[in-house]
Structures are given as structure tokens and as C-alpha cells.
Amino acid sequence: MSIAIQSLPQSALNVINAYINLKAAENKYIRCPYFRNPRSGRERWGLTAYSGKGSAQEIETELEIIEKLEGKNFSEMHENEIRDIMRKRKLGIECSGFVTRILDAWTREFYKKPIYSLIKFNSSGISWLFCKMRPYTHIDVPTLVHQKNAYEIKNVNDIMPGDIVRFNSIIDHAIIITKIEKDVNLNLIKAYYAHSVSEDNGEGVKEGQIDFASGKWCELPDTGHTIDEKGEPKFYRLFITEPLWQNK
């Protein structure tokens, strides 16, 4: 039986909700699909929304334009059809972009600053300049978990909401812990998470949970995949999130 439940602040949870319920049209809400930030090309140097790093509002704005470009009426279309169009148009969110936007809402609430002004970019020269000009595009998983910005948590019982789980085997992937449940001995029972994931089926923004008692991972929507397929997880805490829990 759990006695301690902690979760991300409401502002951060609202961001997750905004990606899960993207407004495509009046009374039509869809789950944001996955789009991986390309290393080069038009998308990399275009709008943030088209580089897999856009905010939910930016993606919604682009959706409105895409609806016009495609000559479609999204309010009469099935969610999967709209998501297919978004994928074709390369509109979506990638894992680190999703995590960044959630943490960004948190830092804006507590520090009154965006995340990119609080974390350190591991770059110099011209690439440092690009990082400053297009900060969201340049925050990726290695940046978030870099030793300048985060440290590894060895004991899973220390995990808190806002911590990042990194899978660096098949593909570099990050998820964010949104809520935890602990028992009387302060042992972790369950951790809830959210992420934007690339899959052959049902990819996009998803929520899931890890049951530490049974070691099982499950996700919603259930697409027959779980995140543990990605490899061995490593847990990280950003330095910027630590004071937020100490203040609580």
C-alpha cells in the first residue's frame, strides 16, 4: 500500500495533457505523433514545430495550416487519418523535445525562466551561437543528461517526478517521470511516466507506469509495446529540478 504520492506540478502536467489532446479542429483532439528531429535539412532549420521540438500550441497552429493545405476537414476525420497527415508533413514531437517542454513549463513556473537559460549546452563557437539562437532545437537527450546538467541516480528509490530515464541501446531515448508512489518504508512501488516514442504501431506521446514490485512496464494506449524494449534504463536527475523538491 502506498503512502507517499508525488507528482509533477500542474503546469507540467498540463503540457503532457496538451500533447495528448492536441486540438486539430473544433471538438477534435488527437494524440501528438512522434517526429524525430533530423540532423540536417529543411526541417532542422525551419520552424521549431517541424523539427520535433515544438510546443503543443505551435503544433496546433501548424495543424490549422496543414488542414488548409491538404484541403481537408479535420473535424470530420478519424484521429489516425489526421496523425498520418501529420507524419507525412513531418509534424510531431520527439522524445527530448517532449521532455524539454514539460520541464520548461516547470522552470517557467518556479524559476520564472525558460529551461534553456538554466541548462548548459555542451558546445562552443558557432554551434554555441546556434544553441542560443534556436535553443529548443538543440536540447537533445545527451544535453539533458550531460554531467553539466544532470547526475545519475543509482538507487531507484530516490527517483522523483521530473527525473529522466534514458535508454541508450537501440536508440537514444528519454522518458520523464511524472508521478511516484512509495510505501511506508519509502521504497518505490510505482513510477508513472510520459514520453514521445517511435514505434511501428501507435507511436507518439504516451503515458505509462512501471510497477517496481513486479518489474512490469505498461503503457496507454496499449500498442503491444513497452518502453523496456528500448534497453537498459538509466535514471538521471537534472540539477535544476533538485531545488524544486527541496523547497517542497
**Cα–Cα dist 201/95, whole Å:** 16
Q: Which CB sits closer to other proteins, 48 or 149?
A: 48
116 near other proteins (CB under 8 A): no
89 near other proteins (CB under 8 A): no
41 near other proteins (CB under 8 A): yes
- As to burial, measured by CB atoms within 10 angstroms (0-12 exposed, 13-18 middle, 19+ buried), residue 243 is exposed
Q: Which CB sits closer to other proteins, 58 or 163?
A: 58
- As to burial, measured by CB atoms within 10 angstroms (0-12 exposed, 13-18 middle, 19+ buried), residue 6 is middle
Among 137, 178, 196, 241, which residue interacts with other proteins (rule: CB under 8 A)? Answer: 137
Among 8, 18, 48, 131, which residue interacts with other proteins (rule: CB under 8 A)? Answer: 48
Non-local (6+) Cβ contacts of 6 within 8 A are 160, 161, 179, 180, 245, 248
Q: How many CB atoms lie within 10 A of CB 240?
A: 19
136 near other proteins (CB under 8 A): yes
39 near other proteins (CB under 8 A): no
Least separation, in Å, of the C-beta of 19 and other proteins?
A: 18
65 near other proteins (CB under 8 A): yes
Distance of CA 34 to the CA centre of its chain: 10
Cell numbers for 237, please give them: 536527475
37 near other proteins (CB under 8 A): no
Interface residues with other proteins (CB under 8 A) are: 41-42, 45-48, 51, 53, 58, 64-65, 68-69, 71, 133-134, 136-137
